[in-house]
Amino acid sequence: MSAGDIKETLKLFGLTPNKALGQNFLADREVAARIARAACLPNLPALEIGPGLGALTGMLLGSAARVAAVELDGAMVGALNGMFAGEERLTLIHADFLKFDLEGYAGREGEYTVAGNLPYYVTTPVCMKLLSCSVLPARMALMVQKEAAARFTAKTGTKIYGPLAALARLYYECETLMELSPARFYPQPEVDSAALVFVRKSDSPTVPSLAGLLGTAFAMRRKTLSNNLRAAGFGREEAQEVLLRLGIPQDARAEQLAPEVFAALAREIG
Ligand code: SAM
């Protein structure tokens, strides 16, 4: 869709972009095609987050076996129903992705991929939900705010290293597909954007309790891991012992520990 197409579609359905819902629509067909190609595998279903007016949805239908698209704005769902009437491979779900039954979807599909030009105001909770699902997406292509992109690939020991980077780096090869200026969207956002591609590592099985542990470990960044564990209910000796067993220094802080160390710790304490 071009910016002109978007304006016409909005007019046709009597819609106005809702800033609070992060509605900055992608106004570049080639970018949409590249994101769809990066996200999809031909035999797998794709899950789209925030289809909006369908700029990406149409491209995903061209690259995936079928598409399920979760959209919070009922007016957008109404427009999409009109635009994609008769498209049996598309399932539109009117829901807040943060409340969507991702475990149910992932369990039913078994293998799936994810794509989305994300609403930037919920980037972190959306991505934490994806990265802590018990059946992880095989691939993901996600548009995020450029500054947020760095948090997925952040190195251990840096200020922006946290649960997102630990999960993303443990489970995925992650790289920037492209960076985009506000001019590629309508209406134009006030920030630059980046599309990230995540490819699932085959040698890194999911650790069910990892996301919870990371939440605990990074709860207070300036405290030691041991103190954060104790604040979450561990006894002093219990915390000391488990760190000792894993060769983690007693005074270590979460940001100093590599993703693999957290995975080992999560396996140890369940
Ligand atoms: N995919 C379209 C595109 O690229 O043009 C729209 C992208 S726009 C940046 C983000 C979309 O996510 C909007 O349609 C917005 O209504 C929707 N959205 C916002 N919050 C949401 C949420 N919590 N769950 C699902 N969709 C949401």
Angle between helices 163-171 and 210-217 (to 10 degrees): 150
Q: What does the pLDDT average to over 130-134?
A: 96
Mean pLDDT value across residues 240-250: 95
19 in ligand 1 pocket by Cβ < 6 Å?
no
Q: Cβ distance 255 to 156 under 8 Å?
A: yes
Whether 249 shows a pLDDT value over 80: the answer reads yes
**Domains in the chain with CATH codes:** 3-200 (3.40.50.150), 210-269 (1.10.8.100)
Give, for ligand 1, the residue of 6, 23, 61, 118 to mutate: max count of ligand atoms closer than 8 Å to Cβ: 23
Of 65-74, 169-178, 232-241, give the lowest mean pLDDT range.
232-241
> Pick from 96, 138, 89, 92: which is nearest to 115 by CA?
138
Mean pLDDT for the chain? 96
The pLDDT of 28-50, averaged and rounded, is 97
Confidence of residue 84 (pLDDT cuts 50, 70, 90): very high
Distance 79 CA to ligand 1 centre (A): 13
pTM tops 0.75: yes
* Omega cis (within 30) before 249: no
For ligand 1, whether the C-beta of 26 sits within 6 Å is: yes
**Buried residues in 10-27 as b, exposed as e (16+ CB within 10 A):** beeeebebeeebbbbbbb
Residue 260 banded pLDDT, cuts 50, 70, 90: very high
Flag whether pLDDT at 269 surpasses 90: no
**Residue written as tokens 């997102």?**
164
- Ligand 1 centre to CA of 188 (Å) is 14
pLDDT of residue 201: 97
Quote the pLDDT of residue 270.
Answer: 75
**pLDDT tens digits, one per residue of 5-26:** 999 999 999 999 999 999 999 9
Per-residue model confidence as pLDDT tens digits over 185-237: 999 999 999 999 999 999 999 999 999 999 999 999 999 999 999 998 989 99
